[in-house]
Structure 1
Amino acid sequence: MAPGDLVPDHAKQLRSKEKRPGNRASKTNCEPDGSFVFEAHEAWKDFHNSLRHFYEVGELCDVKLKVRLPLLPVEFLTGTVAKEEMIKGSLSCRDLMDEARNYHLHLSHKVVLDFEYSARTIPRKHTAGVLFCVGGRGGSGDPFRSIECYSITKNSWFFGPEMNSRRRHVGVISVEGKVYAVGGHDGNEHLGNMEMFDPLTNKWMMKASMNTKRRGIALAALGGPIYAIGGLDDNSCFNDVERYDIESDCWSAVAPMNTPRGGVGSVALGSFVYAVGGNDGVISEMGQRRAGNGVSKLNGCLYVVGGFDDNSPLSSVERFDPRIYRWEYVSELTTPRGGVGVATVMGRVFAVGGHNGNIYLNTVEAFEPRMNRWELVGSVSHCRAGAGVAVCSSRVSQIRDVGQGSSNVANCM
């Protein structure tokens, strides 16, 4: 919910409150993609006043076009919103509550008959976070330390502060408003170290190193810790899985995978971490074997995008729905992409860069699930494959634009 989106100019607007002593207002993430919602008592009072305005002038049904209840945390939705008398007294608002409940049931892998996604289940642009494209390599062969960020509101890319290390085939993830880059290869050796970008300081900070140096790893976050999965070096692929505790800045080994996987993709979906594809990996449920693919989640489903089958880049995309435990093909990419970076923003899956078998790519395309269609949506400045892509729940205005960066690439060969 955004200031100005909830009520007319003459009505009181919903606004965020900074946390301060004696005030329990806090800012939390209601969606994996980092949409902001506000669980503040004072903010709810503003919302309550706005509802009363609509109620008094007989326009309460208009709220259904302005309030995105599905994006509220389920505890706040059921514990506060559902108990509001004006909500209970309006058939239109009760329909909205049913939609919100069904949305959360759907994401928890329950089968909800006739459920449909709507504009109210998609975050607004200014709350959707920032898409980061981190590292990779291009035609020059040297890995990048450069970062490109996508402004959803402006539909444009800009360079953010560079990493300390060059990294290709790097694992990248965003947790709690920060971006983590783990492992990879710097052009000379494999890396086990990790660095973290904090939008509040606009700096990359070195953190604890993994026990195993590797590239082509996948990262996933489930219940707080970060999991580094699989990967490879010049001699072998790994089934190693390490877990990073953010608070203690410490890595520890956990149960290894059954199969070694380099160039693997991973995502946390529900209560599971999925490892998909990779070298030395066989996923029998998928229609194609693939490594260097991108993996993301959208609407409770897992999407596997592009990758390489042996040495051939793929344009195929597969979707896994855990509610029915089935893989299916969806529309293909507009161009084959191996080593592609993938993330979900604003209800669409974005595929960034990669290699099409002839050249490194700087094009970006997005998948719209309701249309089952990929379309080109611009390009990054650097043609790159093996980059890490993640969505950070920060405001784009927090991130310093550093211009063209120090590693600009002249062409995509």
Structure 2
Amino acid sequence: MAPDDMVPEHAKQHKLKQDKAKKCQSTIRPDGDCEPDGSFVFEAHEAWKDFHNSLRQFYEVGELCDVTLKVRLPLLPVDFLTGTVAKEDMIKANLSCRDLLDEARNYHLHLSNKVVPDFQYSFRTMPRKHTAGVLFCVGGRGGSGDPFRSIECYSICKNSWFFGPEMNSRRRHVGVISVGGKVYAVGGHDGSEHLGNMEMFDPLTNKWMMKASMNTKRRGIALAALGGPIYAIGGLDDNSCFNDVERYDIESDRWSAVAPMNTPRGGVGSVALGSFVYAVGGNDGVASLSSVERFDPHLNKWTDVREMGQRRAGNGVSELNGCLYVVGGFDDNSPLSSVERFDPRLSRWDYVSELTTPRGGVGVATVMGRVFAVGGHNGNIYLNTVEAFDPRMNRWELVGSVSHCRAGAGVAVCSSHISQIRDVGQGSSNVVDCM
């Protein structure tokens, strides 16, 4: 008889459950950190509990809550929260666990622009460093005027930048966004002509792949993603500014036109916030704009909203804690250091702390609860410095620099893990001075 045949069947099942549970439980680290997929951690704990339930008739609710505290429930998908976590009997039976679940629900309501009285952000609403994604700085131009192919990536854990694989095309004033763990670069100018083409970077292959082209070639466009599709908004060429808006369907690799904006906007900023896509500032071909409008995809309609306090184009736009941040840019005379914040629940703009230096053509994205401003032009030179805004301190501070001084780059946060992206060393040999 084989040794395994001597083990009773129920003991085999216990052993399998134990091995699975121990493997899963190991994803919860001693410091409370956990692996990138929070839902996996919750399921890991369920596997551990399943083993214990096979040995005893009760389970300590306190232990469940202790592990639940280590899982940042607000950052889990809504369908997992409502379909799995909320249906767990032991969570429903414990007030402390239910409070954590309510916090997660209120967080999602807050982000959807609903007014949630007394809602407060906590450490549970902030991603851990190794799950926060990778910050990409894509393309742009430096002192020579020639656009870059080069990509620089920021490691949050190491607080350092490194070069990633280059794009197929040089691109300045390019639209960049990350959706589904991939990075998309759209349009721009290659130094000779305006571009309508798009390429996509897949961290799993470490390559850029050409995708379908837009209908209108342009630079100075902004990208936003809402509910799956990518929206390419505004832009300009050598003759005019555009109010054109195109929508890209990722699955079919096709572009289609949607309702145009009310105002042409070149050098516009954009972000998806709640159930709308916002178009902020830009230049209409005559002057920089303080006006703002938002797109409702269900109505296929743009509506004007309250304007900013300052006219600006070439500004960076990002979302943080349910608010829209507009950073730097140019008025009709010079680059700006001012930063404004829009709260859609109050329909109100407020100024926050200024940048440490003016930045026109700045790239902006949100990482780990801070707004990062990368590069730009300060009126004298192209910049390679990077600074970050902490809303709790209402303060910008320098946090290092990219290798290439650049403005007109696209900046986005990709949900991939930093280890997936290959460091290509020095990147492009076309490193220019900052003048």
TM-score when normalising by structure 2: 0.84
Equivalent of residue 301 in structure 1, options 318, 323, 329? 323
Q: Deviations over 1:148-206 (max 9, x none)?
A: 00011111100000001100000001111111101101111111111111111111111
Does the alignment pair 1:363 with 2:385? yes
Name the amino acid aligned to 1:403.
Answer: G
Match in the other structure for 1:45 = 46
Match in the other structure for 2:420 = 398
Question: Could you say if the C-alpha distance between residues 55 and 360 of structure 1 is closer, same or farther in structure 2, counting changes exceeding 3 Å?
Answer: farther
Q: Tell whether the 8 Å contact from 2:24 to 2:45 is kept in structure 1 after alignment.
A: no
Equivalent of residue 333 in structure 1, options 355, 371, 374? 355
Query: Aligned with 1:309: secondary structure?
Result: coil
C-alpha separation between the residues in 1 aligned to 2:358 and 2:59? 53
Question: Could you say if the C-alpha distance between residues 12 and 288 of structure 1 is closer, same or farther in structure 2, counting changes exceeding 3 Å?
Answer: same
C-alpha separation between the residues in 2 aligned to 1:315 and 1:349? 14
**Larger relative helix fraction:** 2
Q: Tell whether the 8 Å contact from 1:315 to 1:333 is kept in structure 2 after alignment.
A: yes
Query: Aligned with 1:295: secondary structure?
Result: strand
Match in the other structure for 2:265 = 261
Query: Aligned with 1:162: secondary structure?
Result: coil
Query: Aligned with 1:313: secondary structure?
Result: coil
Question: Could you say if the C-alpha distance between residues 316 and 62 of structure 1 is closer, same or farther in structure 2, counting changes exceeding 3 Å?
Answer: same
Equivalent of residue 115 in structure 1, options 107, 111, 119? 119
Does the alignment pair 1:374 with 2:386? no
Name the amino acid aligned to 1:226.
Answer: I
Match in the other structure for 1:19 = none
Question: Could you say if the C-alpha distance between residues 51 and 340 of structure 1 is closer, same or farther in structure 2, counting changes exceeding 3 Å?
Answer: farther
Q: 1:58 Cα deviation (Å)?
A: 5.2
Query: Aligned with 1:262: secondary structure?
Result: coil
Identity between Structure 1 and Structure 2 (%): 87
Question: Could you say if the C-alpha distance between residues 92 and 173 of structure 1 is closer, same or farther in structure 2, counting changes exceeding 3 Å?
Answer: same
Match in the other structure for 2:85 = 81
Match in the other structure for 1:162 = 166
C-alpha separation between the residues in 1 aligned to 2:62 and 2:76? 25
Question: Could you say if the C-alpha distance between residues 58 and 390 of structure 1 is closer, same or farther in structure 2, counting changes exceeding 3 Å?
Answer: closer
Match in the other structure for 2:298 = none
Query: Aligned with 2:25: secondary structure?
Result: coil
Match in the other structure for 1:32 = none
Q: Deviations over 1:370-389 (max 9, x none)?
A: 11111111110001000000
Q: Tell whether the 8 Å contact from 1:14 to 1:46 is kept in structure 2 after alignment.
A: no
Aligned residue pair count: 387
Unaligned runs of 5+ in 1: 1-8, 17-34
Match in the other structure for 2:256 = 252
C-alpha separation between the residues in 2 aligned to 1:90 and 1:123? 25
TM-score when normalising by structure 1: 0.88
Equivalent of residue 354 in structure 1, options 376, 380, 385? 376
Q: 1:409 Cα deviation (Å)?
A: 2.2
Match in the other structure for 1:407 = 429
C-alpha separation between the residues in 2 aligned to 1:49 and 1:392? 35
Match in the other structure for 1:236 = 240
Q: Tell whether the 8 Å contact from 2:39 to 2:80 is kept in structure 1 after alignment.
A: no
Name the amino acid aligned to 2:80.
Answer: F
Equivalent of residue 207 in structure 1, options 211, 220, 231? 211
Name the amino acid aligned to 1:131.
Answer: L
Between 1:36-45 and 1:67-76, the stretch displaced more is: 36-45
C-alpha separation between the residues in 2 aligned to 1:62 and 1:130? 30
Query: Aligned with 1:273: secondary structure?
Result: strand
Q: 1:288 Cα deviation (Å)?
A: 0.2
Between 1:379-388 and 1:308-317, the stretch displaced more is: 308-317
Question: Could you say if the C-alpha distance between residues 357 and 47 of structure 1 is closer, same or farther in structure 2, counting changes exceeding 3 Å?
Answer: farther
Unaligned runs of 5+ in 2: 1-20, 29-35, 292-305
C-alpha separation between the residues in 1 aligned to 2:177 and 2:200? 10
Name the amino acid aligned to 1:123.
Answer: P
